[in-house]
Amino acid sequence: MTATGFVGDLRQRATALSDIRRTAYAVLFGDRLGLIVFLATVVLFGLVWRTAFLITDSYTLANGLYSLSNGHVALTDAVYGPGLETPGANRYGGQRFARNYGVIVLSLPVVFALDLLTAVVELRIALVALWSLALLAFVVQCGHYTDNEWVSVGGSVVVLGLFGLNVALAQPLDAGRTHLYALQLTHLLIAAFTPVVLYRLFSRMRTRRLGFLSAVVLTAGTPLAFWASVPKRHVVTGTVVVCIAYCLYRSRMPTDGSLITQRRTFRALAYALVGLYAWVHAPEALLLCVAVVVVDVPTAQDNSPRTLARIGVVFALSLLPFIVTNIAISGSPIKPPRVISRSGSIGGDIAGSASGDGGGGSGSGGGISRTLLAPLFTLIERGMQPLVLLSGELIRGLDTIQQQPNDVYHAFVRSGNASGALDIAGEESVNLSLLESAPVLVAMVGALPVLRRLRLPSSMGDRVLGADRVVDAFAVTAFVGVVLLYAGRLPLHAQVTARYVFPLYPLGVYLVMRLPAVRESLTNHWRVFLWTVTGTVLIGGQLALIFVALTVNGIGEAFQLHALLGLTIAVPLGSWAVIGRSEGMAGQTGAVLLGAATGVTTVFLLLTSIEYYALGDSHLLPMMRALAELVTLY
């Protein structure tokens, strides 16, 4: 009792602190349900967190973080992995550098915090305690939300039990690998905001219920949890894309927030997010930048030079960390520590021909003006070069779609036994297509009947779009952009779940949830939907387990089994979406199909982290490790 009294006292005294707390709470989570979504996601990600390297690219980031935490920008020691020559490491002036410096810098404080923890407590127990505290917070928030004290009390006891179980099974965690854990923790926390922001977007657009359901579809129905703790750019892109959508929405609505009181601030924030993301992965940031400009500028109410200048300044400021890093590494402000095309050759060709054309054009302009304007031309040319490269990539993507429809089919619909879809190194069929990874996205075909009814603005006077339409336009533009950007690289290798096109998962879920049939079916039959998800996971999961144990010989077959299961659900769901009815039985059917498609992915995610990619049973939580050791399927 004295402890609670003390806490109460503190709370009363520190009103200023509590104001900051309330603002931070509102800015980060919006409301209690947003916080619940966040905590639930973090707890789920913690469950499937394996403290090992899934992809060799992550060595580069871990070594980059190690070097930076010791005060060096360049890579110094190969603390992780076989050496410094890991995928993604680039050479400049005799030194090697990492990439994705944005997340490396964000992970710096986490590394220091973890190192500090290691000095005082056993790291495994500390991380187990952190996970348990997140679960406890989740339980308590659920108790508040449902206004039921028993939820809090019962939940707390269960949390204590789980904590005890984990401590009893605990083995020490290698304290020398804090850079990896820090990167994983940063990515995991960033990933947890994808469903939170999607929830906030839909709860403002429509209802909080729809917001919550969209968060469930995104978290349980797409491979978000699989990539959450993998130090790669993918989940970061997903969060950035959803945040941009949210900012664009708020920039068209009257403001009511405590921190941001003007809509144009949100508009500038959308651009700032793009600029900051360039610090992680410049080519994708450029694509997003184009998507934002193309959608925002033509549809905005106010495009006065003053407003545009203000946005330009904010955007330039947000690019500062990116530019500073580039100058520190390559000496050029726009040359990121990774060029736009990984192979380099095709991107290089395009750049070469583009500069050649530019030279020819200025040559016809005449002698004196050429010498006078030459520096200006060079400057414009240099500034345009990334855009030229990007359009080259997009055109190449379009070409691929026309000329290699088979590769497109393998990447987006059915992976299967296409030898081209196989991993070069592995030989197993573990590269699932987009649809196999998230069958719920098939509902996007429901857009076809909606598009037929859609009226396009008939005159320039109609160009100012409402908030909903602006976000729709951005989602469609970004979706198409990401498809084209990566279509040129088909067939893709070492994907697992079509990871290059990861932003398509949140964008796709957004577009699916915008369809009237989906929205109404889910809102009216949300209990049916949630029960179907639960049933699919609990009952379908066990059936899948038995099926895998009896018929599967290896990871490739297991993945293809899950792929076929997903596609089996996708067929009726797609048909339902095309018909697009949500009244009565049709609505219930839709909720069941959406729930089943979501649940099938969850089963895949759980089995993947427990069995297929257990990564040497390196689960953070001892109870998950014990479960993985117990389960041997092939």
Binding site for another protein (CB under 8 A): 1, 3-4, 7, 119-122, 124-126, 129, 132-133, 136, 140, 143, 149, 152-153, 156-157, 159-160, 163, 167, 170-173, 414, 416-419, 421-422, 427-429, 551-554, 556-557, 559-561, 563-564, 634
Please state the closest distance from residue 408 (CB atom) to another protein, in A.
18
Give the 3-state secondary structure of 171-203: CCCCHHHHHHHHHHHHHHHHHHHHHHHHHHHHH
CB of 437 to another protein, least distance (A): 15
| Burial bucket for residue 409 (CB in 10 Å: 0-12, 13-18, 19+) | middle
Classify 302 as helix, strand or coil. Answer: coil
In whole angstroms, give the CA distance from residue 294 to residue 391.
14
**What pairs with residue 95 in β-bridges?**
92
Contact 381, 473 (CB under 8 A): no
In the bound state with another protein, the residue whose beta carbon lies nearer, of 160 and 376, is 160
Nearer residue to another protein within complex by CB, 7 or 374: 7
- 577 forms beta bridges with none
Please report how close the Cβ of residue 129 comes to another protein at its closest, in angstroms: 4
Closest CB to another protein among residues 152, 618: 152
Query: How many other CB atoms are there within 10 angstroms of residue 32's CB atom?
Result: 14
Q: How far is the CB of 128 from another protein (least distance, A)?
A: 8
The two counts, helices (H) then strands (E), for the chain are 27, 2
Smallest gap, in angstroms, from Cβ of residue 625 to another protein?
Answer: 11
Nearer to another protein, 7 or 571 (CB): 7
| Measured CA angle at 385 (ends 379, 387), to 5 deg | 125
Min dist. Cβ of residue 515 to another protein (A): 30
In the complex with another protein, which residue's Cβ is closer, 159 or 605?
Answer: 159
Beta bridge partners of 630: none
* Contact indicator for 171, 144 with CB cutoff of 8 Å: no
Q: How many CB atoms lie within 10 A of CB 49?
A: 24
Of the two residues 177 and 252, which places its CB atom closer to another protein in the complex? 177
- Per-state percent for the chain, helix, strand, coil, to nearest 5: 75, 0, 25
**Beta-bridge partners for 432:** 497
Of the candidates 165, 166, 180, 183, the residue with the CA atom closest to the CA atom of residue 125: 166
Q: Closer to another protein at the Cβ: 170 or 294?
A: 170
Query: What distance lies between CA 159 and its chain's CA centroid?
Result: 29
Separation CA 457–CA 91 (nearest Å): 50
Q: What kind and span of H or E run contains 29?
A: helix 15-29
d(CA 274, CA 267): 12
Of 353 and 417, CB closest to another protein: 417
* Nearest distance, CB of residue 339 and another protein, angstroms: 31
- CB crowding 360-378: b at 16 or more within 10 Å, else e: eebeeeeeeeeeeeeeeee
Query: Which residue number, 339 or 561, has a Cβ lying nearer to another protein?
Result: 561
From the CB of 633, what's the least distance to another protein, in Å? 11
Task: Give the closest residue to 608 by CA, choosing from 593, 59, 600.
Answer: 600
The DSSP bridge pattern shows strands 90-92 and 95-97 to be antiparallel
Kindly tell me which of 89 and 139 has the beta carbon lying closer to another protein.
Answer: 139
Q: Where are the alpha helices (DSSP H) in 404-503?
A: 405-412, 434-437, 447-453, 467-487
Q: Which is nearer to another protein, 124 or 232 (CB)?
A: 124
Closest CB to another protein among residues 172, 366: 172
Report in angstroms how near the CB of residue 623 gets to another protein at its nearest.
13
- Report the nearest approach of another protein to the CB of residue 37 (Å): 21
With respect to another protein, which residue has the nearer C-beta, 513 or 620? 620
Helix (H) or strand (E) run with residue 384 in it: helix 367-403
In the bound complex, what is the minimum distance in angstroms from residue 39's beta carbon to another protein?
14
Indicate the length of the chain as a whole number.
634
CB of 150 to another protein, least distance (A): 9
Q: Which amino acid is at 251?
A: S
Report the nearest approach of another protein to the CB of residue 308 (Å): 51
Shortest Cβ 132–another protein spacing (Å): 6
- Residue closer to another protein, measured from CB, 516 or 554: 554
The number of beta carbons lying within 10 Å of the beta carbon of residue 265 is 18
